[in-house]
Amino acid sequence: MAGWMEQELEQRKKGIPAGQVREVVEHMRQNQIDTVWDVQAAYDGEFLGLKDRCAFGARGLCCRNCEMGPCRLATGDVPQHLQLITPAINRSTCGKTVDDMVANMLLQTTIRGTAAHLGHALHLVELLSEVGAGTSALAVKDEAKLEALATALGVTAKTSAARATGVAQVLRTDFNGPRDGAPMKFVAVLAPKEASRLVKLELVPHKGACELIVEATHSTAHGMTNAAFKLLQWTLKLGVLDMVALAVSTEIQDILLGKPNVGTSHIGFDALDPAKVNIVVHGHYPPLAEMVVEAAHAADAAARNAGATGVNVVGLCCTGNEILMRHGLKTLGNNLQQELAIGTGLVDAMVVDVQCVFPSLSSLVGHFHTKLVTTMGELHMEEAVHVPMGHTAEETHKAAAKIVALGVEAYGKRDKGKAFLPKTPGKSLMAGFSVETLVAVLSKLDANDPLKPLIDAIANGTVTGAVLLAGCTSPKVQPDMSHVAIAKALIKENVLVIATGCAAGACARAGLLQPEAAAQAGDKLKGLLAALGKTAGLPGSLPPVLHFGSCVDNSRVVMLLKALADRLGVGVDKLPAVASAAELVTEKAIAIGCGALALGVTTHVGVAPKVMGSPFVVTTLAKDLEQLTGSKLIVAVDPKEAAGEILAELRRKRTGLGLN
């Protein structure tokens, strides 16, 4: 895709859309406080003769692996005056070609993304084990889900505690090995029909996950694999592993914290209550956040003593999505709202667990009274107090109470002169969708075969297909608007749109999670959403974008696709379904995208990943892969072009199924 860098700049030039976000950014600018937007703008200035980030790094053509380097390679679209090395010797000092270098860098990125999701899952496996042993502050909330998972994994224990222990043991072996060459058990749970296809492609992990991470990392080290195809195969295999980690996390979170509930809530900075102690829970690992919600109820008297009217716990990023989905708690927003949250001067405690936490928060809290609290061993920050969750009920209750107390104490130091709430109101939203909630509604239409009404709707063209809008929001394009423009274009074409993570936040800020927004959908989809809303006993239609939760909840969508594919007797790769990470930022988003590709789901990205320097990698992922997995990578920065390519792919898959 030529001109991607210019197209990113074009999108970016449109600026921050009017509304709450722009108001807070401008307020912070007036107070000389920089945020991610200002840093991005600085990179857009003339910088080393470039109009953007480093022309080599942006294409994946900078290798810093060894101490002979760094080495940078040029391809045709790197500006002529920067091509320091003649094409004839266009290789790194050790001899890497552009293809080796890009594939190596892509694998390294995927390793980090997968490791992050594995880390999340491993913590939950330990927690489940502690629950089984009866030592944890948490307990099994969804016995049916635990029983179903135990059965799927071959655990035959009779009591809830023994089941929790048994499931934790199987998963520990899946993750840590040794498994003597047996395929990962959870892959069969996640994708039984796909398993043999994935085995043939050598994409099923046959070792402990941790051992795989070591092997994959080893293969990227200096003087190791230079076969770009092998590196790409590793990358997709780690994508499968990443999907396993997501699914394990979602399953255990549902078991211990409960399944999501459909309900209404709110997104925006006005989720903060100037009269209350505001505690923001941010990150991805929700168990301690749940305990903080509980502890906040018990801290009412302390808050009143401090002059507040109570304690208000609100969410941010994916921990925010988790407490939104289960408790209907309000959310401030997503990755690009975290700095701004502190900029309102109304956050008393910013509690972060893991992932997507900007290091800039450490310096930002210096301008305000906000207490920054870290809670997990993997994430420590300057200027933060560390309050770990602990491993016993007593330790966890103490930690939650301490966090709330830190918020109450900070409230006493709040400078009311610095408080700022934007004039634009936030948006109401409907959230809490999952496979279970969808099936519950559909089973009211057909109790014996709940998926049939949805399959019929796809078959008769009421629904063109399903698209998952996932991943981050990015300052590299016009923030939020790639997701929103794609969502609007797709719902008009009667596509069932599901959103997770920050993409769901972008849709929420645009009002697309409101039932009334169904009016923007095509007539056929509009009718279906209204009928489903009525069947569900809701006052109106379902919204045109269904919020399926956090980024680990992308596994819920995989489970939905698996159920549909099983019911139809085809592979997931045959379904008219596409994933889109229109504003991807993190390594995790890359890992999820690789997992989707491996499972046969075509994936769109709207910010060019750092692979564009390798013709081999681009051609393999965007074209040749289709012969192997039935899926391909679509790189399209312009949202209109992206929506067009996504629709074309849905129609191609429909044709493959013999549908119009």
183 DSSP 8-state letter: P
Residues 6+ apart with CB under 8 A from 554: 246, 468, 470, 500, 501, 548, 579, 592, 596
Which of 589/612 has CB closer to ligand BF8?
589
438-447, long-range: CB within 8 Å, 24+ apart, which pairs? 438/546, 438/560, 439/563, 440/536, 441/532, 441/535, 441/536, 442/532, 444/535, 444/536, 445/535
Q: According to the binding rule CB under 6 A, does residue 591 interact with ligand BF8? A: no
Stretch that binds ligand BF8, among 29-37, 249-257, 394-402, 582-590 (CB under 6 A): 582-590
Alpha-carbon span 325 to 336, nearest angstrom: 20
Residues 6+ apart with CB under 8 A from 580: 467, 468, 469, 470, 483, 486, 503, 603, 604, 605, 606, 642, 646
145 touches 259 (CB < 8 A): yes
Binding map of ligand BF8 across residues 353-382, x = CB under 6 A, - = no contact? ---x--------------------------
Binding map of ligand BF8 across residues 280-299, x = CB under 6 A, - = no contact? ----x---------------
Q: What is the closest distance, in whole angstroms, from the C-beta atom of residue 536 to ligand BF8 in the complex? A: 27
Q: According to the binding rule CB under 6 A, does residue 599 interact with ligand BF8? A: no
Binding map of ligand BF8 across residues 418-457, x = CB under 6 A, - = no contact? ----------------------------------------
Q: According to the binding rule CB under 6 A, does residue 499 interact with ligand BF8? A: no
Kindly give the residue spans of alpha helices, DSSP state H, lying in 446-480.
452-459
Q: What is the closest distance, in whole angstroms, from the C-beta atom of residue 117 to ligand BF8 in the complex? A: 9
Which of 112/206 has CB closer to ligand BF8?
112
Which of 167/589 has CB closer to ligand BF8?
589
Q: According to the binding rule CB under 6 A, does residue 589 interact with ligand BF8? A: yes
Alpha-carbon span 502 to 181, nearest angstrom: 37
Q: According to the binding rule CB under 6 A, does residue 551 interact with ligand BF8? A: yes
Among 74, 318, 458, 468, binds ligand BF8 (CB under 6 A): 318
Among 92, 110, 334, 603, binds ligand BF8 (CB under 6 A): 334
Residues 6+ apart with CB under 8 A from 158: none
Terminal CA-to-CA distance of the chain, rounded, Å?
A: 29
Q: According to the binding rule CB under 6 A, does residue 124 interact with ligand BF8? A: no
Tokens read off for 656: 């493959």
Q: According to the binding rule CB under 6 A, does residue 471 interact with ligand BF8? A: yes
179 touches 237 (CB < 8 A): no
Among 225, 249, 335, 338, binds ligand BF8 (CB under 6 A): 335
Alpha-carbon span 572 to 631, nearest angstrom: 10
Alpha-carbon span 481 to 479, nearest angstrom: 5
Which of 105/589 has CB closer to ligand BF8?
589
Residues in contact with ligand BF8, total (CB under 6 A)?
Answer: 16
User: How many H helices and E strands in the chain?
Assistant: 26, 15
Pairing of strands 371-374, 263-267: unpaired
Which of 104/586 has CB closer to ligand BF8?
586
Q: What is the closest distance, in whole angstroms, from the C-beta atom of residue 95 to ligand BF8 in the complex? A: 34
Residues in contact with ligand BF8 by CB under 6 A are 284, 317-318, 334-335, 356, 471-472, 501-502, 550-551, 585-586, 588-589
